[in-house]
Chains A and B, each alone.
Chain A
Amino acid sequence: MTALIALDGVSKSFGSVKATDRFSMELADGEALGVIGPNGAGKSTMFNIITGGVRPSEGRVYFAGRDITRTPAHERCRMGIGRSYQIPHPFANMTVFENLLVGAAFGGSRTEAASYEDCHEILDRTGLLQKANALAGALTLLERKRLEMARALATRPRVLLLDEIAGGLTEHECAALVDTIKAIHRTGVSIVWIEHVVHALLSVVSRLVVINFGRKLAEGDPHEVMASTEVQEVYMGISAE
């Protein structure tokens, strides 16, 4: 079976900084993959390469077997790549409901009636129903993070890229978020999740990739990867003596 997403030797430099350095990875259809690494390791750049915000200077990007290296971002979205940003980017002058409607109508290529139902259901699932008619610019940080995920879901993605969505949440909020993400995964949506809140990550993903200096440092079973001395040393900042 072909991988849903495959990165084949992609590199991207910003000036002299190599944000991504000959990086390869695969995501199977239906898989939930976790990505960890220190700040500035190139995790978000990797997401940008997948969504089309950044074009790699070398290497190829594949989606469901198709080479999408030169495909513009809006077409990738329509193919089924959804993403949430670490720093929320809502359409501030539109209501929460309209934010989702944009995703559903354009990214999900749905009719208007079907879009309304979808959006209502997604708002309910992500706990934003009460805020449906509020201006997105007036939301709290937690609500904006939920909106990021809700809007990505409205595009009916086959894979959802989540960028540090649990950061800054209380224990209780985080647990609720994990439940929501698990429920999304159960509906058949593949997940790639960049997260510093490791315990939240480990309760969802079945495989873990560790990135450092734009390269893959380790990969495999989450608990084994977390236990490896290499990862402890580089990522957790604990010297293994």
Chain B
Amino acid sequence: MEWLDAIIQGILLGGLYALFATGLSLIFGVMRLVNIAHGDLIVLAAFLGLAMVNGTGVHPLLSLIVTVPVMAAIGYALQRGILNLTLGRDILPPLLVTFGLSIIIQNVLLEVFSADTQRLKAGALETASIAIGDQIAIGWFPLIVFLAALGVIAGLQLMLFRTRLGMAFRATSDDHRTAGLMGIDNRHVFALAMALALGVVALAGTFMAIRTNFSPAIGPARLLYAFEAVIIGGLGSLWGTLAGGVILGVAQAIGAKFHPGGQILAGHVAFLIVLVLRPNGLFPRTRDR
């Protein structure tokens, strides 16, 4: 029973990791950009939520009404103003620029919010749970996070395959030069992809802030989890990213059962095993040139 409980908690935690990773996966899929600042953007969103909650006293989940569009707007401006200029044949410039961005975000957050660890308080929601039998209880909040991850990924998948914008995303993903020749404005399409990604980041950052303590320095570790989830699932595949997040979450929960310090290590080991056995991830895109 204890093991079943660990696995269930791991799956739910995986939902959060999947939300960390979804934006990264989408951006890589559409424009082959590896965003080193992704983790710090998650933390930035968490602090935005904190400022909202402290300033107005609203419930953290309600603050999403503001933080999601704000982060999306930041994403659009960031892509149009900076990142579009770094994209080209060479993969190094975007890596360097987003690495610099990561340092800038960390230091600005440090300057504004200090190095103190923070927490978003969600009241009764933090401890509310559904009891299943005597030994297993599922927390409402982890469940909400997991369902949100499912919803976000299902929504993005629908968008990719059912809408005009999704068609533009898939076309630029396959060949952005030819997409330009077909009348698609890549600069705009890339910026919309980044806006969507950072909208999801706002969701992920707020959920993270309710679940755990956070400080300006924890961004790179979130980036690592996001990367691992994306690689386990297979580059550019959104459902794969969800699976990757869940595998990471379950591995961590099982690792924690063996040894209290084994949680993080078990996640990394699971990642390494997948990398060795299936270097392209579990659900790679069917075709890539």
Contact = CB atoms under 8 A, between A and B. Distances in A.
A74 B185 contact: yes
Given A74-B186, A112-B164, A91 B171 contact: yes
A74 B184 contact: yes
B174 A103 contact: no
Interface in B137-192: 164, 167-168, 170-171, 173-175, 177-186
B89 interface: no
A15 to B, nearest CB: 16
A74 B285 contact: no
A102 B182 contact: yes
Contacts of A53: 177, 180-181
Contacts of A137: 287
B212 interface: no
Nearest to A112: B164
B127 interface: no
A112 B164 CA distance: 9
**Chain A interface category by residue count:** 20 to 34
Given A77-B180, A93-B173, A102 B167 contact: yes
A103 B168 CA distance: 10
A98 B164 CA distance: 11
A108 B183 CA distance: 8
A188 interface: no
B58 to A, nearest CB: 40
A159 B58 CA distance: 58
Interface in A84-99: 85, 89-94, 98
A73 B181 contact: yes
B50 to A, nearest CB: 40
Contact of B180 (A74, A94, A109): A74
Contacts of A132: none
A91 B170 contact: yes
B286 interface: yes
A107 B173 contact: no
Contact of A107 (B170, B177, B183): B183
Contacts of A213: none
A109 B183 contact: yes
B286 A102 contact: no
A72 B175 CA distance: 17
Interface string A150-173: 010001000000000000000000
B115 to A, nearest CB: 45
Nearest to A91: B174
Q: Name the residue among A91, A94, A108 with the largest chain B CB count within 10 angstroms.
A: A91
Nearest to B174: A91
Nearest to A88: B178
A91 B175 contact: yes
A109 B178 CA distance: 17
B259 interface: no
A135 interface: yes
A146 interface: no
Contacts of B287: 92-93, 135, 137
B169 to A, nearest CB: 11
Nearest to A115: B164
A155 B177 contact: no
Contact of B177 (A89, A94, A105): A89
Contact of B170 (A94, A105, A155): A94
Contacts of A151: 182
Contacts of A98: 167, 170
B178 A89 contact: yes
B174 A92 contact: yes
B175 to A, nearest CB: 5
B174 A106 contact: no
B174 A94 contact: yes
Q: Name the residue among A72, A78, A105, A135 with the largest chain B CB count within 10 angstroms.
A: A105
A231 interface: no
A104 to B, nearest CB: 9
A51 interface: yes
A105 B178 contact: no
6 contacts: A75-B185, A78-B183, A102-B167, A107-B182, A108-B183, A155-B182
Given A73-B177, A74-B182, 10 more contacts: A52-B180, A72-B180, A74-B181, A77-B182, A77-B183, A92-B175, A92-B287, A92-B289, A93-B174, A94-B170
Interface of A: 51-53, 72-75, 77-78, 83, 85, 89-94, 98, 101-103, 105-109, 112, 135, 137, 151, 155
Interface of B: 164, 167-168, 170-171, 173-175, 177-186, 285-289
The 5 closest A-B pairs by CB, nearest first: A107-B183, A106-B183, A91-B174, A77-B183, A73-B180
